[in-house]
Structure 1
Amino acid sequence: MSYKHKKVITIGIVSELTGLSERQIRYYEERRLIEPERTRGGTRKFSFTDVEKLVEIANQMEDGLQTAEIRRLEQKAQQQKDAKVRDQMIRGQLNAAFPNRNKS
């Protein structure tokens, strides 16, 4: 796992890095725009990827988007990414099953 995806940053540090208040960060979590992990004690832990995502969310909010719109855009982007991965996997399976099909 890349260091960018490890959930090790507390909400206070995330607040300092992003300029968002802890309240805003918790609100984005409530709206399911961000999903921090929780320690046994309930402390939120974020990754650098989460920090980047929060900055993007803040920029979208400043541009006038609502949280529901941001979530919809994110879901659409994820669906497109999933479709691309699925297509690559199918192509790989076809190439493995028919290794000479692209050769002239």
Structure 2
Amino acid sequence: MTSYREKKVITIGIVHELTGLSERKIRYYEERGLIFPARSKRGTRKYSFSDIELLMKIADKREEGVQTQEIKRDILKKKSSKHLRDEMLRGQLNAHFNIRKSQHNGRSAP
């Protein structure tokens, strides 16, 4: 089940109201690969609470003079380390409970 923080249900207008960032600036951050909204069937951008928090962090860094390329590098590094940490934890749990990979994917092991 997806956490409420990760559900992409907030429109760009509401994000603008919550963050004070212009819709143009929010779109710019998307163009630069810093944020990835979902799209409705009609193409409307949809954001999550986590996206809003990330936008605020991006805006703070930009105010400090940090370039978007550096922000993107930091975001990717954090995602990579989180993914690696999650994989390591999953491996430790699987080893502790003697779970084979095929069991983890929902299939029974031989």
TM-score interval (norm. to shorter): 0.7 to 0.9
Distance in structure 1 (CA, Å) of the matches to 2:94 and 2:4: 31
Distance in structure 2 (CA, Å) of the matches to 1:89 and 1:17: 36
Distance in structure 1 (CA, Å) of the matches to 2:44 and 2:76: 27
Q: Secondary structure at the match of 1:20?
A: coil
Distance in structure 1 (CA, Å) of the matches to 2:83 and 2:57: 21
Distance in structure 2 (CA, Å) of the matches to 1:4 and 1:25: 19
Across the aligned residues of Structure 1 and Structure 2, the Cα RMSD in angstroms comes to 1.0
Q: Deviations over 1:9-55 (max 9, x none)?
A: 11111001001000000000000111111111111111111111100
Partner of 2:107: none
The one-letter amino acid of 2:32's match is R
Ranges in structure 1 where 5+ consecutive residues have no aligned partner: 98-104
The one-letter amino acid of 1:19's match is G
Distance in structure 2 (CA, Å) of the matches to 1:39 and 1:73: 28
Deviation of the 1:63 alpha carbon? 1.1
Q: Deviations over 1:48-86 (max 9, x none)?
A: 111111001000111111111001001111111111111
Identity among equivalent positions (%) equals: 52
Aligned residues: 97
The one-letter amino acid of 1:68's match is Q
Deviation of the 1:96 alpha carbon? 2.4
The one-letter amino acid of 1:49's match is S
TM-score (norm 2): 0.83
